[in-house]
Amino acid sequence: MEGFISSLILLFIWLISTLLLRAAFQILRRNNPRLHHPPSPFALPIIGHLHLLGPLPHQSLHALSQRYGPIIRLHFGSSPCIVASTPDAARAFLKTNDLAFSSRPSSAAIRTLNYGESTFIFAKYGPYWKFMKKLCMSELLNGRMLDNLGPVRHEERVSMIKCLLEKSKANEEVDLRGELMKLSYNVITRMVMSRRGTDAGGGISDVREIVEESERITGTFNLEDFVWFFKGLDLQGVKKVAKDVHERFDRIMEGVLKEKEMERREGKGREHMKDLLDVLIDVSEDENAEVKLTRDDIKGFSMEVYVAGTDTSSITIEWALAELINHPSILYKAQAEIESIIGKTRLVKETDIPNLPYLQSIVKETFRLHPPAPFILREAAKDCVVSGYDIPKKTRLIVNAWSVGRDPEYWEEPMEFRPERFMEEEKCAGVDVRGQHFELLPFGSGRRGCPGASLGLHVVNTTLASLVQCFEWRVGEGEVDAVVDMKEGSSFNNPREKPLVCVPVARFNPFVTVG
């Protein structure tokens, strides 16, 4: 017994000594006088700056940037990080030094959920990632595919509008987050596997729940990812939950792939256009392809399409509508623009959007204040110098898109929701949302910019236009001047804290023939 206690004491002494020595080494390395580091707050041993992060990390990092500058150095546990918080700082990393920051950091949850690190979004910059990016641009998310899927998006939008019109007749409240997520989920499922997600069998209807759980897990702070001593221990059970979610998704996709393979053997399914799975299977069977896609590659890419495409669009539309309810004069102006271009005889179409500049400005202003991905994450592939600062290899880069959209040096009245800025101010008029300009970064930028930006814009612009065209919105108990709470929720995709629940009041029914 005494020997056991002595062994525990020795183990405890060794552990404390190791932690202290490692912390001292990290402090010496951080303060190397030969390197020119960005400014940094005081760090604690072992945890570094983790104590400075609140429940909304993008707001915490924004507050730190206000005090220490547009480029700051932090240590989250044993992980060195650089945070960029202004348009100029974002440009320095994502354009001037794009190649040096063309890889993404991963996490234990992501590796467990997404078939290791070979998936497209989190793949290291190299031959596999380049092949998948080219495949996305040429086959999976190109203009032809998006045009072919136009009727699918229209059908799902019509289905949602008809549902809301029924709710309006009954004077019922609607959980718009739920309705918008259903719309996005059905669009993505029909794009991936030619099935309507909410109606499909074989467990496909469960994918929506799996996507929500995946987002929650990947947004959970996990000690294993940041403090070296906890690596591999899974003390919080994150990997255990991620493994369960992964296995559920894998079973569903395995069933879908087997059905696809049977259809292909029997020559069925050729009457409809190819979906994403058809294209990926074709590539996997191509002996001359630059990269041989595996079954796991196909499943992993499908998972990423769901996670990247379902919530981001619905959250953006929900934020936009909440802002319009709180700014009725902007809502009325958007309705007047739509009526002047389209009239009162039909539902707005995707082809109408280029003729609705004010509606597009509303979407841009929503992206500015409520980016669906507040953080753009990269990792330094080599030692480099950015804006005069030495950035060591393996340093994590965090571009705070939420902070960039509130930069007072660029945006006038940055906290105000004012779509007019994109039509009236010369410096804002040409700002692009696809990453060409660094004042707005809803889809990232550079090599690792989101390849699904065009699809997302189609869904967001036309769905918002339809909701504006067809309805007024009543919140609360119908009291005059009721406003929507605009608090943010704690998740990596920047949702509202509470779902937008309101009563739709029909102002135009595009499905009723007049005369």
Binding residues: 450
Rg over CA atoms, the chain: 25
10 Å Cβ neighbour count for 430?
9
Contacts of 269 (CB under 8 A, 6+ apart): 194, 260, 263, 278
Instruction: With H, G, I as helix, E, B as strand and everything else as coil, classify residue 105.
Output: coil
Nearest to 141 by CA among 390, 308, 356, 385: 308
Nearest of 1, 11, 79 to residue 46 by alpha carbon: 79
Query: What Å distances lie between residue 320 and 171, 281, 390, CA to CA?
Result: 23, 38, 40
Number of Cβ atoms within 10 Å of the Cβ of 105: 18
Cα 168 to Cα 70, 74, 467, 481, 511: the distances in Å are 47, 51, 12, 20, 14
Q: How many helices (H) and strands (E) does the chain have?
A: 20, 9
**Whole-angstrom distance, CA of residue 477 vs CA of residue 227:** 49
Specify binding-site residues for heme. 450
For residues 351-389, b (16+ Cβ closer than 10 Å) or e, as one string? Answer: ebbeebebbbbbbbbbbbbbbbbbbbbbbbbeebebbeb
Q: Nearest to residue 40, comparing CAs of 448, 390, 430, 493?
A: 390
Q: Kindly state the tokens that stand for 5.
A: 């206690």
Contact 211, 185 (CB under 8 A): yes
For residue 28, which phi and psi values (nearest 5 degrees)? Answer: -65, -40
CA dist 395 and 104 (Å) reads: 11
Output the 3-class SS for 256-305: HHHHHHHHHHHCCCCCCCCCHHHHHHHHHCCCCCCCCCCHHHHHHHHHHH
Q: Where are the alpha helices (DSSP H) in 57-175?
A: 57-68, 87-91, 108-113, 127-135, 143-148, 150-169
